[in-house]
Amino acid sequence: MLFCGISILDENFNLAHDMYVGVQGDRITYIGTEEPEQDFGRCYSGKGRFMMPGLYNSHAHSPMTLLRGYAENLSLQDWLHKKVFPFEARMLGEDIFKGSKLAIAEMLRFGTCSFSDMYYMGEDVFEAVAQTGIKCNFSRGVTVFDGGRYESQPAFEEAEKLLKNHHGGADGRFKLDLSIHAEYTSNPSVVASLARHASDRGLNIHIHLSETKDEHEGCKERHGKTPAKYFYDLGIFNSPTTAAHCVWLEDEDFDILFENNITVAACPASNLKLASGFARVEKMFDLGLKVAIGSDGAASNNNLDLFTDAYLFAILYKGVSGNPSAITPKEVLKAATRTGALAQGRDDSGIIKVGAKADLIVLDIKGPHMQPVHNMLNNIVYCARGNDVCLNMIDGRVLYEDGDFKSLDIEKVSYEAAKSTEAILARL
Amino acid sequence: MLFCGISILDENFNLAHDMYVGVQGDRITYIGTEEPEQDFGRCYSGKGRFMMPGLYNSHAHSPMTLLRGYAENLSLQDWLHKKVFPFEARMLGEDIFKGSKLAIAEMLRFGTCSFSDMYYMGEDVFEAVAQTGIKCNFSRGVTVFDGGRYESQPAFEEAEKLLKNHHGGADGRFKLDLSIHAEYTSNPSVVASLARHASDRGLNIHIHLSETKDEHEGCKERHGKTPAKYFYDLGIFNSPTTAAHCVWLEDEDFDILFENNITVAACPASNLKLASGFARVEKMFDLGLKVAIGSDGAASNNNLDLFTDAYLFAILYKGVSGNPSAITPKEVLKAATRTGALAQGRDDSGIIKVGAKADLIVLDIKGPHMQPVHNMLNNIVYCARGNDVCLNMIDGRVLYEDGDFKSLDIEKVSYEAAKSTEAILARL
């Protein structure tokens, strides 16, 4: 496939106009201002279009689409204990599969090419990923609610099974990460054990970190240290780690994350909706931390359109820092793409570059909300929404184009998710 | 036109399903669960659709679409003085017309039926409103930059001319409000004069109020009182007033606004992007203040999709108040519709009710991001975006449907706005 005469976000995250981009197999093999001599097959006209890397959703709980709109306008404790946990306790494998598939449909529609998912029953998420062509780093969040060790055992076993059966599966699109859900749902021996597992097996780690004030202050009471220090001391940060939220970090925590090369997955929509607090993302950028963007689950967002999250990311942390020149469009676009890819250990992805994986999206930039064009990067970050995505290509395969989902039956996916939801509610 | 078997947001802002809604002329004349015997002409199937009142954008500067993406990531002073003011100084009447028309196209696309605009050269905004079928309360913002009175004279004269020629024009769709731009761009004698003008003529007023900390604290230094007290003492609040932003209100200011029945136009996107601060909207609702939603200009938003602003409104003030149960979906939907209509003095609008103006929008609720449906109101507020609007009817006329703009040539509008922008830049 050859994209002809198209504006692109180049490998330095600058604009380049009237470019030719050729895709062969799963790779970008040509980028230039001249039409290549080689035959790339289908020619895609770039008129009124803009190409950029597909988006990386760096913190998701994809099956939670089934809870979208279910638990609203509640305190965090009521949200969790009266609604979310009881609902989740009734979810079966088929529900996980259907909820995840609905999430994937939505992500494909709105330009996401890969997501970092933390949930359970990963076998069913794997099936959804394998069938639909999206990419996913899945982690089975280990939790120890009663302070004992035995409850974590099934999670370790599930992760071990996923590692054996599916890590690197679906043509490398599915990867297993390991996960401690959070400090407050773990104990030190389980954390240390998971840290060793990850290190021994060379796996990445995905955690929740200092999402709420209660969690952060509670950790200090329980352990005499912040969650970041707790995880550091127990060896978690010996493996490449994505830390979601990071709302309540203290000065020393920023240093720990920086020194250990941790990627923060900022979740601006979820933090606002659950009133969890305001992450100091401007400071993260100032300190050189790696910052990516996550949607969190659909029960606390509620839309998996990562363009909206990127827009929020672009404006919220200006407001929080009191500095309207903080967080540039280029920083936003990198956070939503390349930084997320690197956090997933996909070094050849999240960038429009010869040799990179052909994970790219095309936006229709002709809508009235995208006019006029003083600087296209500004319009992409501050004006575009997921609906402007008109093509989503992953590993060289077009999975969404102009309303057409190539790898799934959207009506069936929506219908089955609704049916699953009804069945879960009937079991409550 | 008869909408058949459609879910609607009823006059109490509750859901009603499988309804028939009949429109004759510019009014809703039938709502019921039974198919009416009377012939309403075209039957519109409500399957997979949701009807609600059209949105009211309660604070806009519509011609600023031409500055969309022009002045980004700058401090407020640089934004204003180095970019916005010089650009605006080169805008001619035809630019105002074309910029406003682009804004209207975008608003029609994304479900807005009326906007409260503060700008200058209202004659040209009137033309755009008259041609396109949207509604507008326009106010010519009076400014006195040099402390003298004479600079305000042309603004008074322009308003007087608009009052004479266009107030109630375009079949009642265009109304003139009066405006003091803000405390810091006025002086007491001009404010008192405008207050008398408004009161004498029975006109509404539109002001900026306590948008930035500098403005708020500066007013206290200049006048020994807050901007709200300043405007109150000078008689502004004797007329129905929309006060935009209201970020830095003090406790007594809330009381003044409440006692004078002022409508706050909260502008969450603009306040974040320009780092102006966080309005205490939860407190406004607690105190019973009237709160509507504004986009502000496209240079500080940058998208005129009011669904995004409503979403931000729904989640931001949860975050700011620390209370995830603050600001219910019903409050959000009222703020975005009925409250805005009442602030514009359009008592028969902003509501789906027999006898009300047929200003209504229909959303396609079949997208993957709108599934499943636990409670449609939650999905409308937290998941829907302007792109889900598939029909926009104003005064009984369908002005947008399924990609088709009925009252304007969208390609021409975009092209001419781009040309105007180029010409302005060439004059800089």
Say which residues have a Cβ less than 8 Å from residue A159's Cβ, sequence separation at least 6: A122, A139, A140, A142, A176, A178, A197
Say which residues have a Cβ less than 8 Å from residue B376's Cβ, sequence separation at least 6: B7, B15, B50, B365
From the CA of A65, how many Å to the nearest CA of chain B? 8
Classify each residue of B65-86 as buried b or exposed e, where b means 16 or more C-beta atoms within 10 Å of its C-beta: bbbbbbbbbbebeebbeebbee
Kindly tell me if the per-residue pLDDT of A20 is higher than 70: yes
- Residue linked to tokens 């502004």: B236
Q: Give yes or no for B74 touching A (CB within 8 A).
A: yes
Domain range A57-343, CATH architecture:
Alpha-Beta Barrel (3.20)
Q: Give yes or no for B77 touching A (CB within 8 A).
A: no
Contact (CB<8Å) A368/B303: no
Per the document, the length of chain A is: 428
pLDDT band of residue A148 (cuts 50, 70, 90) is low
Q: Is the ipTM of this complex over 0.90?
A: yes
Determine the residue among B371, B402, B404 to mutate to test chain A binding: the one whose Cβ has the most chain A Cβ atoms within 10 Å. B371
pLDDT band of residue A419 (cuts 50, 70, 90) is very high
Contact (CB<8Å) A72/B275: no
Contact (CB<8Å) A387/B383: no
A275, A301, A322 ranked by CB distance to B319: nearest: A275
Do residues B351 and B68 touch, judged by C-beta distance below 8 A? no
Do residues B392 and B111 touch, judged by C-beta distance below 8 A? yes
From the CA of B289, how many Å to the nearest CA of chain A? 20
List CB contacts (< 8 A) between A375 and chain B.
Answer: 69-70, 72
Those of residues 40-69 in B touching chain A at CB distance below 8 A are 65-69
Do residues B87 and B424 touch, judged by C-beta distance below 8 A? yes
Q: Which of A126, A134, A133, A131 is nearest to A161 (CA)?
A: A126
Walk along chain B (428 residues) in steps of 10 and give the mean pLDDT of each run: 98 98 98 97 97 98 97 86 93 98 98 97 98 98 70 89 97 98 93 97 98 96 98 98 98 98 98 97 98 96 96 98 96 98 98 98 97 96 97 98 97 97 96
Determine the residue among A47, A73, A422 to mutate to test chain B binding: the one whose Cβ has the most chain B Cβ atoms within 10 Å. A73
Classify each residue of B237-276 as buried b or exposed e, where b means 16 or more C-beta atoms within 10 Å of its C-beta: bebbbbbbbbbbbeeebbebbeebebbbbbbbbbbbbbbb
Question: In terms of pLDDT, which residue wins out, A76 or B207?
Answer: B207
Those of residues 358-387 in B touching chain A at CB distance below 8 A are 366-369, 371-375, 378-379, 382-383, 385, 387
Determine the residue among A271, A374, A407 to mutate to test chain B binding: the one whose Cβ has the most chain B Cβ atoms within 10 Å. A374
Q: Where are the domains of chain A?
A: 2-53+359-405, 57-343
pLDDT at position A146 is 63
pLDDT band of residue A115 (cuts 50, 70, 90) is very high
Kindly tell me if the per-residue pLDDT of A204 is higher than 90: yes
What ranges in A10-148 are assigned the alpha helix state H? 76-78, 85-89, 93-109, 122-132
Do residues B112 and B129 touch, judged by C-beta distance below 8 A? no
Contact (CB<8Å) A324/B76: yes
Do residues A245 and A271 touch, judged by C-beta distance below 8 A? yes
The two structure tokens encoding residue B391: 């029909």
A303, A318, A383 ranked by CB distance to B272: nearest: A318
CA B117/CA B376 separation, integer angstroms: 31
* Span A120-126, average pLDDT: 97
- Classify domain A2-53+359-405 at the CATH topology level: Urease, subunit C; domain 1 (2.30.40)
Determine the residue among B47, B62, B72, B425 to mutate to test chain A binding: the one whose Cβ has the most chain A Cβ atoms within 10 Å. B72
pLDDT at position A147 is 54
List CB contacts (< 8 A) between A295 and chain B.
Answer: none
Say which residues have a Cβ less than 8 Å from residue B404's Cβ, sequence separation at least 6: none
Do residues A157 and A123 touch, judged by C-beta distance below 8 A? no
pLDDT at position A345 is 98
pLDDT at position B146 is 62
* Span A165-189, average pLDDT: 96
pLDDT at position B80 is 86
Contact (CB<8Å) A68/B278: no
Contact (CB<8Å) B372/A421: yes
From the CA of A298, how many Å to the nearest CA of chain B? 9
The two structure tokens encoding residue A40: 């790339």
Contact (CB<8Å) A374/B69: yes
Q: Give yes or no for A156 touching B (CB within 8 A).
A: no
Per cent of chain A over pLDDT 90 is: 95
C-beta atoms surrounding A368 within 10 Å: 25
Beta bridge partners, B60, equal B117
List CB contacts (< 8 A) between B414 and chain A.
Answer: 366, 368, 371-372
Residue type, B158: E
Average model confidence (pLDDT) for chain A? Answer: 96
DSSP-derived 3-state class of residue A86: helix
C-beta atoms surrounding B183 within 10 Å: 26
CA A391/CA A108 separation, integer angstroms: 9
Q: What is the pLDDT of residues A357-416, one digit of tens each?
A: 999 999 999 999 999 999 999 999 999 999 999 999 999 999 999 999 999 999 999 999
Q: What is the pLDDT of residues A283-315, one digit of tens each?
A: 999 999 999 999 999 999 999 999 999 999 999
Cβ pairs bridging A and B (under 8 Å):
213
Q: Which of A249, A245, A250, A162 is nearest to A206 (CA)?
A: A245
Residue type, B63: P
* Span A159-179, average pLDDT: 97
Contacts 24+ apart (CB under 8 A), B149-154: B149/B187, B149/B189, B149/B190, B152/B186, B152/B190
List CB contacts (< 8 A) between B366 and chain A.
Answer: 411, 414
Classify each residue of A111-134 as buried b or exposed e, where b means 16 or more C-beta atoms within 10 Å of its C-beta: bbbbbbbbbbbbbbbbbbbbebbb
Those of residues 216-245 in A touching chain B at CB distance below 8 A are none
* CA nearest to B77 within chain A: A324
The two structure tokens encoding residue A132: 């639909």
Per the document, the length of chain B is: 428
Q: Which of A39, A50, A40, A41 is nearest to A5 (CA)?
A: A50
**Pairing of β B205-209 and β B241-245:** parallel
Superfamily of domain B2-53+350-405: Urease, subunit C, domain 1 (2.30.40.10)
* CA nearest to A412 within chain B: B368
Q: Give yes or no for B279 touching A (CB within 8 A).
A: no
CA A392/CA A402 separation, integer angstroms: 10
Q: Which of A31, A17, A73 is nearest to A351 (CA)?
A: A31
Q: Which sign, positive or negative, has the C-alpha torsion B294, B300, B304, B309?
A: negative
- Classify domain B55-343 at the CATH topology level: TIM Barrel (3.20.20)
Do residues B254 and B287 touch, judged by C-beta distance below 8 A? yes
Contact (CB<8Å) B68/A371: yes
Those of residues 293-322 in B touching chain A at CB distance below 8 A are 301-305, 308, 311-312, 314-316, 318-319, 321-322
Respond yes or no on whether the N-terminal peptide bond of residue A372 is cis (omega within 30° of 0).
yes
